[in-house]
Chains A and B, each alone.
Chain A
Amino acid sequence: MEPTVVIETKKLTKYYGKQVGVMDLDLAVHEGEVFGYLGPNGAGKSTTIKLLLNFINPTSGSTAVFGKDPQKQSTGILGDIGYIPGEIHMYDTLSGRDHLKFQASLQGGVDWKYVKKLAFRLQVDLNKPIKSLSHGNKQKIAIIAAFMHEPKLLILDEPTTGLDPLIQREFYDLVSEVNQAGSTFFISSHVLPEVERMCHRVGILKEGRLIVTEEIDTLKKRAVRSLEIQFAREVKTADLQGIKGVRELQVEGNIAHCRVEGSLDQLIKKISKYEVLNLITQEADLEQVFLDYYKRDKNVA
């Protein structure tokens, strides 16, 4: 059975005057998925999100969230969405509790025990007035506000900004749990390790255009990792040349450095003829994949 599509855009385009916000966007996010939306600042991530939430109108193209058009049925959609804005602004004079109570009332009520549980997990004091909170603590209130009504879809614009690493990890766990329980996530980010950690699939955005959509695992397979091989004896460059996926090979005495795209199989088989003392590898870095996509795109253009 085909998975249900939660977010779908076709040729979605938004111009701000003559400036492109997003261009010919074809997105499909499926139910139960954690979708990462990647791109540098200004690539159109927030524009896409504002189109999904009906804060702005598209220039052309179509959008469907839960199968409904946000322009025509936004109120029918928004009750099932939790949203963290890219820039958090709140009613400063309210306490965290009063702010959340107000937001809860707009959503039509929430289970307050769940709010308390979230506040405890994220370690934020709900009694303090918002204006006295640090950036990170405001972010935590915004996270609670997005999760508290247990929405079916969470649209999070750079959700971990300002969080310290410990709370970030708690947040990743929270996303994973809520996702296990059935909620779909659309998370924009420019922080790659975070996307790698949370998301099943990513779309990479560049200057308003979606340049690729890929499973995280596929990306990882294509990811380039750096390798250092320490041999017992001196090896020649020629001995290690011509192996599939190996680039930037450098041999100095009995140490070889190279970068490998995808599987290490071919390389391992080749070097097994030699006595290998040590093999140091770094975890595949999506940053590299990301940059590669950008480079490739540039070469084409």
Chain B
Amino acid sequence: MWPKILTQSLKTQRKSFIFWIVGLVGLIALYMAIYPSVQESAQALNEYIEKMPEAFRAAFIGESDYASPVGYISSEVYTQMLPLLFLFYAIGVGSSAIAGEEEKGTLDILLATPIRRSRVVLEKWGALIGGLLFLSVVVVLGLFIGIEFVDITIALDKLIAVTLSLLLLSLSFGTLALLIGSFTGSKGVAIGLTTAVAVLTFFINALAPIVDFLEKIQKVSPFYHYTANNPIVNGLDWGSVLFFTCISLVFLILSIVAFRKRDLMI
């Protein structure tokens, strides 16, 4: 059967997708435009970062290497700008999927029909994947064309690998937002809690190199798995792909369980 709720959910985002394209392409262009000047002072930047307190560097800069072109793309684009934007999108869509519709009062349009609640959740999740895929394609194409202008060479398959890792990271948090929304029916709670988990797990991963007890639990952080194996250079780490797939599926199944029997506020 044709997934109408999935396609409908994507269709209603048509206008916002246009803004996403403009925004992503614009940012990529900006990063490409400033690359030559960054490269000129790469030495100085690297030294500057070296001198920062270790804790500060770990928490807010991460592993950066401004001297190499790939390092620039990896640290500036993929560890700073894109995760923020993709998580913003995924948490927004995930929390709106059930809780947003419930709060707006439109959920009865979907449920006063012969469609199962579990299918509504599945199609909404499918729409989340669809949206993230769309953004990923925009990023890969944008960067692939963008780096041509500044003489950076990154193989297409490596660009795809790192973007796929980004997609999986965002999908995990988006599905967590879907789960909290399905369970509570509150979009605000879904956004708030998911963001809190994201911030917490980000710092667990970032501070792990300098804090002993965090190092032991570093691998529970999705951000660890996001950069594991350094996919822009070495391709995907399949263990991490499995990690993301598993937690996303667990969140999805729990979403269905939570939503299937709950009293709805519509």
Give residues in A with beta carbon < 8 Å to B.
50, 53, 55-57, 74-76, 78-79, 81, 83, 85, 87, 89-91, 93-94, 102-103, 105-108
Contacts and interface: CB of A to CB of B under 8 A. Distances in A.
Contacts of A108: 114
Given A56-B263, A56-B264, A89 B114 contact: no
B106 A89 contact: yes
Contacts of A107: 113-114
A91 B108 CA distance: 12
A55 B261 contact: no
Contacts of A56: 263-264
Contacts of B263: 55-57
Contact of A90 (B2, B109, B112): B109
Interface in B105-136: 105-106, 108-116
B81 to A, nearest CB: 29
A106 B266 contact: no
Contact of A91 (B106, B264, B266): B106
B104 interface: yes
In this complex, the interface size class of chain B, counting residues with CB under 8 Å from chain A, is: 20 to 34
Interface in B59-113: 104-106, 108-113
Contacts, number: 61
B12 interface: yes
A76 B4 contact: no
Nearest to B14: A93
Contacts of A87: 105
B115 A106 contact: yes
B8 interface: yes
A122 to B, nearest CB: 19
A103 B108 contact: no
Among all A-B residue pairs, the 10 with the closest Cβ atoms? A89-B105, A79-B114, A106-B113, A56-B263, A83-B112, A75-B114, A105-B4, A55-B264, A89-B106, A78-B114
A17 to B, nearest CB: 11
Nearest to A89: B105
A108 B264 CA distance: 24
Contact of B261 (A57, A78, A106): A57
10 contacts: A55-B266, A57-B261, A74-B116, A75-B114, A79-B114, A85-B266, A89-B108, A106-B110, A106-B114, A107-B114
B12 A78 contact: no
Given A57-B261, A75-B116, A105-B4, A90 B111 contact: no
